[in-house]
A and B are shown apart, each in its own frame.
Chain A
Amino acid sequence: MKNPTSAASNEENTIVRWTGKLLKYRWFALSATLLLTMIVGFGGSRIVFQNDYRVFFSKDNPQLQSYEALQAIYTKDDSVLIVLHHPEEEVYSQSFIATIAYTTDEAWKLPFSTRVDSLTNFQNTEAFEDDLIVEDLVPNPENLTQADLDKIENVARNEPIIWNRAISEDPNTAAVAVTLLFPGKDMNEADIVAAAARELGDRIETQHLGMQVKLTGTAMLNSAFSQSAMRDMSTLIPLMYLAIIIMLLILLRSMLSTVATVIIIITSTMIAMGTLGWLGMSMNGVTSSIPIMVMTLAVADSVHFLITFIQNLRTGKTRNEAIKESMRINFQPITITSLTTVIGFLSLNFSDSPPYRDLGNIVAVGVTAAWFFSIVLLPVLLSLFPIKARSRIREGEVKETTGFAEWVIRWKTPVLIMTTIVTVGLALFLPMNKLNDQFVQYFSEATEFRQDTDFITEHLTGFYNLDYNLSSGESGGISNPDYLTHLENFAVWMRGQPEVVQVNSLADTMKRLNKNMHGDDESYFRIPDERDLAAQYLLLFEMSLPYGLDLNNQINVDKSATRMTVTLKDQTTQEIRSLIDRADAWLIQNTPETFHSLPSSPITMFVYISKRNVESMVIGTTIAIFIISFVLALVLRSVRMGAFSLIPNLAPMAIGLGIWALFRGQIGMSIAPVLGMTLGIVVDDTVHFLSKYLRARREKGYNAEDAIRYAFATVGRALVVTTLVLTVGFLLLGTSTFQLNSWMGQLTAIIIAAALIFDFLFLPAFLMIFDKKTHTVKTLGGSFAKPGLAGASAIALAAISLLAFTPDVQAETPEEKGLAIAREADLRDAGYGDWSASLYMVLTNRHGQSSTREMRFMSLETEDEGDKRLSVFDSPRDVEGTAFLSYTYKEKDDDQWLYLPALRRVKRIASNNQSGPFVGSEFAYEDLASQEVEKYTYIYLRDEVVDGQDCYLVEFTPVDENSGYTKQLVWIDKEHYRTIKTEFYDRKNELLKTLTMSGYQQYKDKHWRADKFTMVNHQTGKSTELQFNDYVFSQGLEENLFTRNALNRIR
């Protein structure tokens, strides 16, 4: 039956013709595409690198807005933290202090530096008689006595503002904090500072032997972002090219084909990067993975094309023929897989983070370009290159995947069970994945930034902090003792939290000032009792502070609010979120409303982004899943297959995330987009496999197992190759030092590999076990009633197949003609939906004695298989209510159930009884079953006239070995294709019975039904007559009437 696909073959003809034209004008096509690539690719020169961590947040991200608001109130603080560490020297030593002082002075000279805080320039306050002395803690670093050093240590230990910040319990480590104000004129400001800081570090290390300098802070973070991106671009991309070239050479064994592929890759990448440039998007850590992704995906398109091309060359075709054939076979799959991949990547637009949106859109552009070049440029290149097939195809060479296919076919049930168990088992680990976005961990431990930051977190202080903008609600209100008490209580509470390393609060300064103003009396180390006093102390203190060390970073202009900075230990973002929630609850419970505030800082943005990202990506991925399933249903022309394809599309993700949970257990910003992205890619495997499988089932009429063999033989190799390429590509991305990219690459690689394994194991096993129905024209007839697109296309296809049938009847060989007649008869009766009739049966023995039975007969046409039939007995009385339900299948035994009313029992009965007599009549079960084309083979014998009607005489040979007949001679009238007479030959090939059918009437202008069936048994002399009455067609009998359950209530 080639009819359902005749539309497809029309389409294929168009493609072949189109390819012909393309090859004819190949020079034009070549220069046009290359020109286009040049123009678009030129945009690549406009690409700028952006290295601010803020790019991960959209402008309307609430945490970003809040943080920017905070920075507007106080000072904007990007920072560099210079940490000095000497393994042998203590901080409280002459030389170490001298180095700190030196660093402090030098740090002032860093570009954009606005403030430097260190141990040596800490503004210590002391009482001197009635005066307040404010001066550097270490005014003279050159000449320090042991008493000075002891005093420094004493102050440092008791001063919460510097303890755990500039200095800590670790006696070998101290820090100098540099605050920067970036003018924001140049993208590279952070890099400039970072370079200067590194240079300063080198200087210190050479001057002070053994001193180690570690650098961190947001400026270093930003610089690390751009460094990682650069590194990815400069090392991974060449590596990727190398890997692709090696793999292609091995797999294709053709130098020129490899060159052609590389050209496709280059042009596709150029289009993608050019578009990025023209659209004014910037490069950053995330978007730097675009070239690798586009390259990888472009290879996949080309490989399918090339493999078919080379296979055809090796069968002896010319290059142009091979190109045409490859286009014919691959155009549709390549288009579809590109389409699904584009849909998958476009789903990244649901991400909350702009770089991922850019990534999705640009890769989608790149994939589209790769598709375009694969169908335009690649054929042209192949026709220009003098590619020769190395050798003709050898026997047994393509056996690798077929051997595997046989293995799966043989062990389908265990394979299905095992893959299901493994998948479900791994999916159970899914919830073990925890959301975490500690952005320091975005950088691999191989990077300097990560090493330094980890060192600092371990030895000195935390990298993450929370900034609270705590307001008193009145101008000058920060001097209010109530406010200061709240501030102090909050700081105390915060210090009591296990996550907190250090709290910087104005209350500490106030306490110290109060003490100083009372002659350093320790009992006054508390919040001043009166507002006026507090205000005066603060004023006095501020007046004494030198340039650059004012309190503007801590107090707002009208002195109504202060900033409290809480430094955190190394926490997961989930733990940080929990701290924020607890602090919020504490504030609401213990402080006035004006005081309430949520913290803002870089980490708070990251704390919320992964959650927001995951939530929005769930929506995006779900939509992508639906669109892709819809596309698949359309392409495979089967809603069932579209829905079913969800399993092989989703299971690899469950497997991937399950494995991920076992080995990493953390998901963050980078993992959320992976799902939508990989969905589009893993679908490709399913599309290729299912489309080949269905082609075999529909066009070639194969059963499930043969169709599996066919699918493995045709696409098995190509799928392995593309999966290999994709896995290697994404694994390479997985080696990126930028963890957002490396995790994305690793997880994608896992999922893609899992998809292939799943599609090679589960999918075929599942199809063999559950897809027993055959896929033929009748499908279309059955779905007439169903509205919508599927119905419409089914009608269109049915119309085409009707047209296509007419010449088939003139087919040549007797077998073909016999089959054509049977099909025509089948087709002419298709589409009744359902019919029912009452039946009066007269059984006569050879002595002429007769008995009767009455029953009702209902039949329901199904989409893919034989009819479902139900017969209910009305007489004789003792069997009244007995019902018989059968599901007819084209290629396997029927399912049959019997309902025994006395026991109210439904019994599934043996399905080998086709040859047995039906209720003691001369009709066997098989005579009354719905007649499916597939149940017989046919030979047209000759034309004969029966009862004045011109008939075809066709010999039917049952396929089923359980049939009671060796053959049937069937007379079918030429005009309406109705069966007029049938002779049944028994297993000894002797004439057993003759059936004559008479009293034909047409129903619904289509369906012919005989009123009377007369069966005469020549060997026993018995006969049975069936009289059908009250035929009703298409009355809308419901499917659930034909179920096991319905037998219980049938009357």
Chain B
Amino acid sequence: MTGKSSYKLVGAVLALTSLLNIHADIIDWSGSELDYEIGNETRIYAESPAFPDQLDTWQNSFVFEAEWFVPLIDGNWEFTAKPFYRHDFTDGARTHFDFREFHFRTFQSYWELTLGLQKIFWGVTESQHLVDIINQTDLVENPDGEDKLGQPMIQLTLLPDWGTIDLFIMPYFRERTFPGAEGRLRANLPVIQNGQELRFRRTEENDFADFAVRYSHYIGSVDFGISYFRGMNREAELLPAVLDYRFDDPWSPPNYTLAFEPRYRKVEQFGLDFQLTQGGWLWKLEGIYRNYLKGINRIDPQSLQFFGPGFFSSEAFDDFGAVVGGFEYTFVGVFGSDYDVGVLAEYHYESIGRDSLRPFNNDLFWGARITPNDTADTALLIGGFFDMYNGSQSYRVEFSRRLGDNYTIIVEGQTTANEDVGDPLFFFRNDSFLAIELRRFF
């Protein structure tokens, strides 16, 4: 699923590596480390699919992940590669390979430089990561959106006494991954993926690179960051498109297939994240303002003809501001046991309001995190969203525990209730599932 251009980059980096290889003393093989893990995931769906072509009942997949670390040039530099591969036996679109990390890095006293693919996380809240915009979401991997694709970048980090300044130059935009036609947890039409043919693709607005800058610091009990991003929006706007339109035989109706075309627009986004830690209390706030720098892209004229122009001019994708804020409180050692129980609640707001096509426009999240502090690092997280406009609800459970020294089991469950027709959750109304993943670490 990786874009062709990022393959090129990886190729270049590999070439560079082999060049370095000539001078064997530059590379400290003895310091290199290789770790890998394999796993199997089974997702079981409680209901029959809502849309045609979607798989029924269950879905099995296999995952491989590794991390290879090599110190270079007397430890002044280091190289890290984290290949990732998932093979899904039912949904072809979910079979994908990615380098989560593939970079060279040096760190000095007051600055750091990273060249290559990596993942960057910004933010503090738990239920939505508003500010976090550097990496594209690997949505096909997990509908919770926590998995990210490696982003090619040059990252310069400056470390003055008064905080951390990160500067990013990110050539190569990566498109979001979506489940295929067979996959569950998708909208009513499949999304056109990389490689699939469409005559009028995205647009002239690709710049040389995306840029971002972030300043973060902590003062006493406050951690905060302010960020600015300018480049392609990571979020896809899905526009209906007509594929393979044929009208050969005048006596029969035309043949065509419908799909969503993902549209990415150039944006600038101002972000703020803030956390106040007071004893057991964590107070969190994230806010963004997103400014669309260019209008709606050119649209496939056939689609325009088919759906009519009104369909495409939604105000839902205007400039907007959004905030998410809330708290987490941890009860340590409840009832004299070793259990810690954290309760959290976060509120989501978006300036567009009811018409917004993004899921969290006026939603409340609550959750609880239970950790028994046992030797197996057991953790249980339960949570739910409530849409305060239309009452749609979704619930999620995550459980993880180590088995022995080398195995981990992760159980995830998700369900929805009272889905409103106008809510994005409506698409998932039949997609309640339970996923069980077992991983073996080497």
- Which residue numbers of A lie inside 8 Å of B, CB to CB? 769-770, 772, 843, 845, 851-852, 875-880, 893, 895, 903-917, 919-921, 962, 964, 987, 1038, 1040, 1043-1045, 1049, 1051
Which stretch in B4-12, B217-225, B389-397, B417-425 binds the other chain?
A: B217-225
One of B282, B329, B333, B342 near A964 (C-beta < 8 A): B333
Cα distance A895–B333 in the bound complex, in angstroms: 19
A908–B218 touching, CB < 8 Å: yes
Q: Pick the contact of B157 from A913, A1038, A1045 — CB < 8 Å?
A: A1045
Given contacts A908-B223, A908-B277, A920-B377, contact A877 B338 (CB under 8 A): no
Given A913-B280, A913-B340, A964-B333; 15 other pairs, CB 8 A cutoff:
A770-B220, A877-B37, A877-B406, A878-B441, A893-B279, A904-B119, A906-B121, A908-B223, A909-B282, A910-B328, A911-B279, A916-B333, A919-B373, A920-B375, A1038-B109
Q: In this complex, which of A909, A910, A987, A1038 has the most chain B Cβ atoms within 10 angstroms of its Cβ?
A: A910
Interface residues of B in 103-120 (CB under 8 A from A): 105, 107, 109-110, 112, 118-120
Q: Are A877 and B223 in contact (CB under 8 A)?
A: no
Q: Is B297 an interface residue (CB 8 A)?
A: no
Tell me the nearest residue of chain A to B37, going by C-beta: A877
Interchain CB contact (< 8 A) of B282 among A880, A908, A1051: A908
Q: Given A920-B376, A1045-B157, are A876 and B279 also a contact pair (CB < 8 Å)? A: no
21 contacts between A and B (CB under 8 A): A769-B220, A772-B220, A845-B375, A852-B405, A875-B405, A876-B441, A904-B119, A904-B120, A906-B121, A908-B124, A909-B277, A910-B329, A911-B221, A911-B277, A911-B280, A1040-B110, A1040-B159, A1043-B159, A1044-B164, A1044-B223, A1045-B159
Kindly list chain B residues whose C-beta atoms are within 8 Å of the C-beta of A920.
373-377
Are B408 and A1049 in contact (CB-based, < 8 A)?
A: no
With A895-B277, A910-B281 already in contact, the answer to whether A843 and B375 are too (CB < 8 A) is yes
Q: Are A877 and B330 in contact (CB under 8 A)?
A: no
- Check: B402 CB closer than 8 A to any chain A CB: yes
Residues of A within 8 A of B376 (CB): 920
Complex contact A851–B332 (CB within 8 A): no
Provide the residues of chain A in CB contact with B441, threshold 8 Å.
876-878
Residues on B with C-beta less than 8 A from A1038 are 109
Q: Is the CB of B121 within 8 A of A904?
A: yes
Rounded to whole angstroms, the CA-CA distance of A876 and B377 in the bound complex is 10
Chain B nearest Cβ from A717, distance in angstroms: 32
User: A-side binding surface: helix, strand, loop or mixed?
Assistant: loop
Q: Are A1049 and B282 in contact, CB atoms less than 8 angstroms apart?
A: no
Distance, CA A194 to CA B146, complexed state (A): 91
B342 / chain A contacts, CB cutoff of 8 Å: 910
- With the chains together, A875 CA to B441 CA distance in Å? 11
374-429 of chain B: CB within 8 A of chain A: 374-377, 402, 405-406, 408
Contact A895 B218 (CB under 8 A): yes
* From A769, A875, A962, A1049, residue with most partner B Cβ within 10 Å: A1049
| Residues of B close to A895: CB separation below 8 A | 218, 221, 277
Residues in chain B near residue A880, CB distance under 8 A: 35
Contact of B121 among A769, A877, A903 (CB under 8 A): A903
A863 CB, min distance to chain B CBs, angstroms:
14
Rounded to whole angstroms, the CA-CA distance of A911 and B442 in the bound complex is: 34
Give the 6 A-B CB pairs with smallest separation, nearest first.
A877-B441, A912-B280, A920-B375, A910-B330, A905-B121, A917-B373
Please report the C-alpha to C-alpha distance between residue A921 and residue B375 in the assembled complex, in whole angstroms.
7
Known contacts A851-B375, A877-B37, A962-B332; A910/B280 CB under 8 A = yes
B69 CB within 8 Å of chain A: yes
Could you tell me the distance in whole angstroms from the C-beta of B344 to the nearest C-beta in chain A? 11
Question: CB of B439 within 8 A of chain A?
Answer: yes
Q: Which residues B90-143 have CB closer than 8 A to chain A?
A: 105, 107, 109-110, 112, 118-121, 124
The answer to whether the Cβ of B177 comes within 8 Å of any Cβ in the partner chain is no
Cβ distance B104 to chain A, nearest Cβ, rounded Å: 12
B interface, CB within 8 angstroms of A:
35, 37, 69, 105, 107, 109-110, 112, 118-121, 124, 146, 157, 159, 164, 216, 218, 220-221, 223, 275, 277-282, 328-330, 332-333, 336, 338, 340, 342, 373-377, 402, 405-406, 408, 439, 441-442
Instruction: List chain A residues, Cβ under 8 A from B35.
Output: 877, 880
Q: Is the CB of A878 within 8 A of B332?
A: no
Tell me the complex Cα distance, A919–B375, Å.
Answer: 7
Q: Which residue of B lies closest to A851 (CB)?
A: B375
Q: What separation, in Å, do the CA atoms of A1040 and B157 have in the docked complex?
A: 13
Q: How far apart are A926's CB and chain B's nearest CB, in angstroms?
A: 11
Compute how far the CA of A845 lies from the CA of B118 in the bound complex, rounded to whole angstroms.
Answer: 40
Q: Which of B105, B275, B279 contacts A1049 (CB 8 A)?
A: B105
Q: A910–B121 contact, CB under 8 A?
A: no
List A contacts of B69 (CB < 8 A): 1051
Q: Quick one: which of A913, A987, A1045 has the most chain B CB within 10 A? A: A1045
Complex Cα gap A913–B338 (Å):
11
- Known contacts: A910-B328, A1044-B218, A1045-B159. The answer to whether A903 contacts B279 by CB under 8 A is no
Smallest distance from the beta carbon of B369 to chain A beta carbons, Å?
11
Q: Across the interface, do A876 and B402 meet the contact criterion of CB distance under 8 Å? A: yes
- Within the complex, which residue of B107, B282, B375, B406 is in contact with A910, where a contact is CB–CB below 8 Å? B282
Residues of chain B within 8 A of A908, CB atoms compared? 124, 218, 223, 275, 277, 282
Please give the distance in Å from B318's CB to the nearest CB on chain A: 31
Q: How far is the CB of A962 from chain B (nearest CB, A)?
A: 7
Contacts of A876 in B (CB 8 A): 402, 405-406, 441
Q: How far is the CA of A1038 from the CA of B375 in the complex (A)?
A: 32
The docked-state distance in angstroms from the alpha carbon of A908 to that of B125 is: 11
Task: Kindly state the separation between the CA atoms of A893 and B277 in the bound complex, as whole angstroms.
Answer: 10
Query: Would you give the shortest CB distance from A873 to chain B, in whole angstroms?
Result: 10
The reply to whether B146 and A903 form a contact with Cβ atoms under 8 Å apart is yes
In the complex, the answer to whether B330 meets A913 with C-beta atoms within 8 Å is yes
Report the minimum CB–CB distance from B8 to chain A (whole Å). Answer: 24
Q: What CA separation (Å) do A907 and B328 show in the bound complex?
A: 12
Knowing A1045-B157, A1049-B112 are in contact, say whether A878-B119 is a contact too (CB < 8 A).
no
Kindly report which residue of chain A lies nearest to residue B378, judged by CB atoms: A920
Residue of B nearest to A917 (CB): B373
Known contacts A895-B221, A908-B223; A879/B279 CB under 8 A = no
Structural contact, A962 and B279, CB atoms closer than 8 A: yes
- When C-beta atoms are compared, the residue in chain A nearest to B146 turns out to be A903
A915 to B275, CA, bound (A): 23
In the complex, chain B residues whose CB is within 8 Å of the CB of A1051: 69
Contacting pair A916 B338 (CB below 8 A): yes
Asked whether, in the complex, the Cβ of B340 is within 8 Å of the Cβ of A916, the reply is yes
Q: Say whether A915 contacts B332, CB under 8 Å.
A: yes
Min CB gap B327→A, angstroms = 11
How many whole Å from B262's CB to the nearest CB in chain A? Answer: 25
Contact A912 B164 (CB under 8 A): no
Contacts of A879 in B (CB 8 A): 377
Of chain A, the residue at the smallest CB distance from B129 is A905
Taking the nearest CB of chain B, how far is it from the CB of A879, in angstroms?
A: 7
Q: Which residues of A contact B124 (CB under 8 A)?
A: 907-908
Chain B residues with CB under 8 A of A915: 332-333
Q: Could you tell me the distance between the alpha carbons of A915 and B124 in the complex, rounded to whole angstroms?
A: 24
Q: Which residues of B contact A914 (CB under 8 A)?
A: 332
Min CB distance A990 to B, Å, is: 11
